[in-house]
Each structure stands twice: as C-alpha cells, then as structure tokens.
Structure 1
Amino acid sequence: MLKELRPALVLLVALVAITGLAYPLAVTGLAEVLFPSQAQGSLIGKDGKIVGSALIGQQFASGRYFHGRPSATTGADPSDPSKTVPAPYNAANSMGSNLGPTNKALIGRVKTDLAALRNENPSQPVPIDLVTTSASGLDPDISPEAALFQVPRVARARNLPEQQVRDLVGRHVDGRAFGFLGEPHVNVLELNLALDEMAATEE
C-alpha cells in the first residue's frame, strides 16, 4: 500500500512546492525587479502619503474636481450585514450593474445624471461614459471628451481660466497602448492631483 502511495505523495509535494511556492515567488520577485510600481499596486502618493492607485477609481463629489464614471459596486449594509448598499469604487467587491436597459431604476438614475450634467454644461453633448458604469465598477479613467466636458465647471469652481484647465487635461491624455490597443483616456486621480498642484502655484 505504502509502495503505491509514495510516488503519488512525492508528486503531490513536488507540485505544491513548484506551483504553490517556487513559481509565485519567482514571478513576484521578477515583477518587483522589472515593474516595481505595478507590482506594488500602481500606488500614487502625495506629500509622502498614499492617496490611491492608478488602477482603482475614487469618488470625487466636489465641483472643484473632475469626476469619474459612475460605479455600481456595493458593500455590506452597516445596519444589516445580510443586505448591501451602494458603495462606489469598492475595490473589495468589483462588479458591474446587473440592471438591464429597460430597468426603471437604471433609467431613472441615468436621467437624473443626464439632467445634472446638462445643467452643468448645457452647450455640449454629454459623453456616454459619464452616465454609464464600467464592468468592474472601479474604472479609474474617463475619455478625453468626458474630461473636457467638465472643464467649465472645474474652472468656475476654482476661478481659473478655462483654457488653462483645458490645457491641463490635454497634457494628461494617455494614448492607445502600443499605438493601437484600447482608447485614449485620462486618469481621474492623476488629473485631480495635477489640478491641485496647478491651483497651488496660482496662489
């Protein structure tokens, strides 16, 4: 019996050591050397403190900041853990909305968002990514059009010339990866940090 079990046990231990220890450690070590920032979560710091990640969106409610895409992520209800409540950009619960295009709650939310955005900038069409959630609910980026749409509001709130804010957006547009993958985009957190720096130099 032991004679038959020994090869299987040896193989099991060897595979666990290779796939469960050696391989993950090798990949992690290689990533730390070749891509240290990405291996640590693409964290973004300000004044010596971590303020977020370039990979995970954040909610910016103030009119002084650019806003990201809506987020459909949820979290546990503090008053009843068996239920969930909206928790935008909850990295522990990445998810999109399960609401279909005919769902009344979704239609109501989009109409409310559209009305607010049209009131904010009535002269421009509302970019679709400002009213739709992403599949992950954590999208840190918006389209250049979505960022430019918000320029008048941000400029008014900060008492800055619109063209100055528009130029700032232009400097933070990332193009397609390798020139052909994906779409041009703007990282909202990085743009808002640059906005704070620009405003600080104006004071």
Structure 2
Amino acid sequence: MSSTFVTLAEVLEARGGPLLEEEIWSLLLGAAECLMDVSYKNNMCSIISPTSLLLSATGTLAFKNCGLSDEVSAFAAPEMLQDRAGSTKPATDRQMLVYSLGMTLYWSVDFQLPQNQPVQLSDHLNSILLSMCEDLAHRRVNLTSILEACESQHKASNLLPPTKVVRQLVEEVFHESVDGSLPDSNIPLSGRSQMIRERLHSEY
C-alpha cells in the first residue's frame, strides 16, 4: 500500500462493510470534479474500478490507469467491451467513465451485503447511480448533470466536503493497518460486480 494513496477497495476491506450514503455523495462529487478536470486535459484513464480509484491522505482523488482485464471488465461500459480495438471520441470516453464510476460506487454500497439485502440508498442517489449504469451510452446521465445534482445535494443536506470525507476514509485504512495487518488488496471484483449488474437490471 502506498504511503500517500489507498484504493477504494482497501478502504472497504479495512472497514469490512459498505460506504454510507453521505460518503457516496462526497466521492461522487469529488470524482466528477476530477473527471471533468482530467477530461479537459485529455489524459483520461480507460476504466474506473475499486482498485483504480485512489484516495490520498491530503483529501484528493485520482485515477490509476488500468487496462481491460477480466477482473475489471465488469466495471467497463458495454460499448468498451464490444469495441475493444476501436477509438472513441472524448465525449464517448466520458460516458464510458460515467458508467465505470457508477458501477464502482454501487459496488461500494453493496460491499459485503447479503445478496438478499437491499442497498441502503435514498431514491435520489439510487436513481443517479442507475442512470450512470445505463447500458446505452446516450441514456446515461452526463458529468455536468452529476456535478449539479451533487452540489445541490451538498447544499441541501449540509454534507461534508469531498476532501474531508476522503481524508477520513484514508485515515480508517491507516488506523486499521496500525492496529492489525494491512488490508488485503486482492479482493475478488468480478463475481461481485456481476451480481451488481444483475441487481441493477432488476431495478428497472
């Protein structure tokens, strides 16, 4: 584990349970802001997954570039899986990352929940995550709309800023690593994320 960054997967493993709704709102806002910034610089990663979303001790988020492997393919947008060799436009890339981010955050609220137990999300947040995970890219919510929804929610509910939430999540991992062993970063992603895909489709 890096002394500066931890992955979202390590955060969840240290906690041993899912993220809370207010934490998801903050991560969604922080990640959307980061993606907007990165996309303007044309330096985007290709897939976001729990092992490639990085949280820093200073409260920032970053994305580690990861190729399309079997483990992360369940977080990849359907159009990426269908056109592995094809080149896409920046706007299309952004919509693929919206899908990946939605799947990753849904995985985070579903982490280690029994299969028959519903995730604990408000209808508002659930509908945003569902619209991020639409199979058809043109039906997905875009980054600008995600940002607006998150900013509105933060003001209405007086939520903590993303930097503070990220720092708290990172501190949980470091606290856990001092008390015991480091979190196991080899959490199986593919099987669980496939179950989430099925659960998402059952919501429609």
TM-score of the aligned structures, taking structure 1 as reference length: 0.29
Structure number having the greater strand percentage: 1
Higher gyration radius (CA):
1
TM-score of the aligned structures, taking structure 2 as reference length: 0.29
Structure number having the greater helix percentage: 2
| More contact order relative to length (CA 8 Å, sep ≥ 6) | 2
